Amino acid sequence: MGLDIRLPVGIFFTLLGALLVIFGWAGDQGIYQRSLGINVNLKWGVVMLVFGVVMWALAHFSRDKHDRR
Amino acid sequence: MSSMHPQLIDWLIIALYLAFVIGIGYALKRFMRTSTDYFLSGRSIPAWVTGLAFISANLGAQEVIGMAASGAKYGMATSHFYWTGAIPAMVFLGVFMMPFYYGSRARSVPEYLKLRFDEKTRAFNAVSFACMTVFSSGISMYAMGLLLNLLLGWSFDFSVLVCAGIVLVYVSLGGLTSAIYNEVLQFFLIVFGFAPLVYIGLKDIGGWTGLRAALAEVATSQGFAPGAWTHTWAIMGSSQANPMGVEWFGLAMGLGFVLSFGYWCTDFLVVQRAMAANSMLAARRTPLIAALPKMLFPFLVIVPGMIAIALTHHAGAGFALPAKAGGALNYDLAMPLMLIHYFPTGMLGVGLAALLASFMSGMAGNVTAFNTVWTCDIYQAYIRPSAGDRHYLLMGRLATLFGVALSVGAAYLAARFNNIMDLLQLLFAFVNAPLFATFLLGMFWKRTTGHGAFTGLLAGTLGAAIHHGLSLPVGSAPGVKGGWLVLLHTYPSEMAQNFWTAIVAFATCFCATILVSLATRARSEQQLEGLVYPLAGGAQMQAQPWYERPAVLGVAILTAAALLNLVFW
């Protein structure tokens, strides 16, 4: 109905992933002791970023297809 | 106990989440033109979306907090709520029941009861369901208020009012579509927010082998066999052999059959999601698509609880569940404390947003089901039958408002039981357990009559109450836990008592419905066209290629669930 839910989900996870990647990459590295030394912000941020971009792209391309018709 | 110290980035993530939740509501506002849009999303949503919303609506506090708590308290056997309970019931709903719900064009489960039986059966169901949704959402809100108070230092009132306010805004703006769309966002956030916790937790404790060894200590220290926390069926031979205090028959019948089918197949909260699907096939696929991720949820929500109790018993692990005033461990804190223990700032914000998401999706699920049942089955049916569509749309929005207000009231009443799950099970046992007998007979035996169904429901609910009044879990005082009539039987645990209450309710309703149906006049076959299995009529499926048939997908899902049961036997 009207709005493709993949669009907000895609944008949300793209922003969230990007935020975590930047923070994990540039931020204080001393905070990862509690996560057993794993930079979970960077690693999981990449996963969420990829998921978000894929969802966004899916919504975008299916809208293009729809418009052409 | 340690509380959270979220940093700027954590607050940013939470703010981002809240902005999207409300933004989705706003974006959908302009599509809400008729009451069908508002209550049924115009029956226009694809199956994968309704499928994810189907799980998410049930993914409230009772799921995330309660399942982790049960994982700590009972171990892997908690997965029976999924692999023995939910999955078979969801497959049954998709394969056998959805054709009649969707095909009848009813807007709600009570409305189906009206079409199939009569007005009084609908009224009974509509009123009891409306009360139950308000209670459930109140319990959810209570748990949330308590938790946010503990973790973030927010006052209980502030937490409850803020979260209720946000749910109110997005549901009243965008109706069911807004709730469903947000449930999809919440679903992904919950999965992404908790998955790294399981990974880090397992890594910390030495993988599944390490967890099993640690839980063997937990089990033996409480007088059970070493495998009591890691097996699901091997420990069900007697109620003394497992921490749940149930045996295989009560478990399979009470939970696996009566309670699960009663909840997943008749509870409008979840069925409403499937009813919003854009075609019959999509409606039938909704619970089946939902079953796929649902099957993996034990690893996401139960395993963190198991890790929490293992660490608590392991001196020097640097993690322990706090004790409550009475000395018992506060199991409900398993999930939030694990988040604090393992997540650095950043991921902590995601985990906290996921926790908020679970509270909100559960609350919104209840609120949307409540506003539909109130408007369609109570207000339109008995108070103002023939107003224009705009009037019902307005009433739906108002019902959202006072549904939320009543839930807030219920939140303040919900402070009695140790484990949230037990209270919900008790509510389901009284209201839902007899209901499945009514649907089973109503959908598959055309001779069932309205009088039969109504008497059966009353008898079943009464049966549940009487059984509860005659029995008591061991170590409890007569009163709210049972035994308020005469104490005839003592159960080894509260859960065993709940399962047997459900079995009694189901059996009473089943017998009473058959007896009264046989003594009263059946409806003509024309009136039942498309409403019962022997007269499927218009509800009959068009032929699909075999791999698209819901039954094939259903069998595949059941096989996978059976395998999981075997692997964790």
- Closest partner residue to A34 (CB to CB) among B188, B192, B341 is B341
What is the rounded CA–CA span in Å between residue B214 and residue B204? 12
pLDDT of the residue at A10: 92
Q: Residue B510 has which token pair?
A: 């089943």
Please tell me whether the interface predicted TM-score (ipTM) of this complex is above 0.90.
yes
pLDDT of the residue at B527: 78
pLDDT category, B513, cuts 50, 70, 90? very high
Rounded to an integer, the average pLDDT of B298-304 is 90
Q: Is the pLDDT of residue A32 over 50?
A: yes
What is the rounded CA–CA span in Å between residue B434 and residue B2? 44
Higher pLDDT, B107 or B548: B107
B193 in Cβ contact with B183 (< 8 Å) = no
Residue with tokens 């109450």: B465
Torsion angle of C-alpha atoms B396, B402, B408, B411, degrees rounded to 10: -80
Residues 13-32 of chain A whose Cβ lies under 8 A from any Cβ of chain B: 13, 15-16, 19-20, 23-24, 27, 31-32
Q: Residue B406 has which token pair?
A: 């009543």
Q: Is the pLDDT of residue A20 over 70?
A: yes
What is the rounded CA–CA span in Å between residue B66 and residue B147? 12
Kindly tell me the sign of the dihedral angle through the C-alpha atoms of B220, B221, B224, B227. negative
Higher pLDDT, B381 or A12: A12
pLDDT of the residue at B73: 86
Q: Nearest CA to CA, how far is A25 from chain B (Å)? A: 12
Amino acid identity of residue B379, one-letter, is Y
Q: Residue B134 has which token pair?
A: 């308000």
Whether chain A has a CB inside 8 Å of the CB on B31: the answer is yes
pLDDT digit string (tens) for B110-129?
999 998 888 889 998 898 88
Instruction: Identify the weakest region by mean pLDDT among B20-24, B154-158, B244-248.
Output: B244-248
How far from the centroid of its chain's Cα atoms is residue B391's Cα?
Answer: 31
Q: Residue B270 has which token pair?
A: 């979840």
What is the rounded CA–CA span in Å between residue B295 and residue B293? 5
Higher pLDDT, B225 or B89: B89
Rounded to an integer, the average pLDDT of B555-561 is 88
Rounded to an integer, the average pLDDT of B43-59 is 84
Residues of B with Cβ-Cβ distance to A40 under 8 angstroms: 196, 200, 343-344, 346-347
How far from the centroid of its chain's Cα atoms is residue B15's Cα?
Answer: 27
pLDDT of the residue at B421: 45
Kindly determine whether residue A35 and residue B350, on different chains, have CB atoms separated by under 8 Å: no
pLDDT digit string (tens) for A36-59?
888 888 889 999 999 999 999 988
Rounded to an integer, the average pLDDT of B514-535 is 82
Largest Cα separation within chain A, whole Å, is 54
Q: What is the mean pLDDT of chain B?
A: 84
B372 in Cβ contact with B108 (< 8 Å) = yes
pLDDT of the residue at B171: 86
Rounded to an integer, the average pLDDT of B38-57 is 82
DSSP state of B277: B
Residues 6+ apart with CB under 8 A from B554: B91, B94, B95, B288
pLDDT digit string (tens) for B242-300?
787 778 888 888 888 888 888 888 888 888 888 888 888 888 889 999 999 999 999 99
Q: Nearest CA to CA, how far is A35 from chain B (Å)? A: 5
**β-strand partners of B489:** B471
Residues of A with Cβ-Cβ distance to B184 under 8 angstroms: 5, 9
Q: Nearest CA to CA, how far is A41 from chain B (Å)? A: 6
Between helices B156-205 and B389-411, what is the axis angle to 10°? Answer: 70
Percent of chain B at pLDDT above 70?
95
In degrees and rounded to multiples of 5, residue B249 shows phi and psi of -70, -45
Residues of A with Cβ-Cβ distance to B196 under 8 angstroms: 35, 40, 44
Rounded to an integer, the average pLDDT of B486-506 is 86
Q: Is the pLDDT of residue B549 over 90?
A: no
Rounded to an integer, the average pLDDT of B232-250 is 78
> Based on C-alpha coordinates, what's the Rg of chain A?
16
DSSP secondary structure of B132-167:
HHHHHHHHHHHHHHHHHHHHH---HHHHHHHHHHHH
> Based on C-alpha coordinates, what's the Rg of chain B?
23
Higher pLDDT, B250 or A21: A21
B335 in Cβ contact with B64 (< 8 Å) = yes
Side-chain-facing half-sphere of B333: CA atoms under 13 Å: 23
pLDDT category, B547, cuts 50, 70, 90? confident
How far from the centroid of its chain's Cα atoms is residue B388's Cα?
Answer: 34
pLDDT digit string (tens) for B384-412?
888 788 888 888 888 888 889 988 888 87
What is the rounded CA–CA span in Å between residue B365 and residue B93? 19
pLDDT of the residue at A69: 43
Higher pLDDT, B429 or B516: B516
Q: Is the pLDDT of residue B237 over 80?
A: no
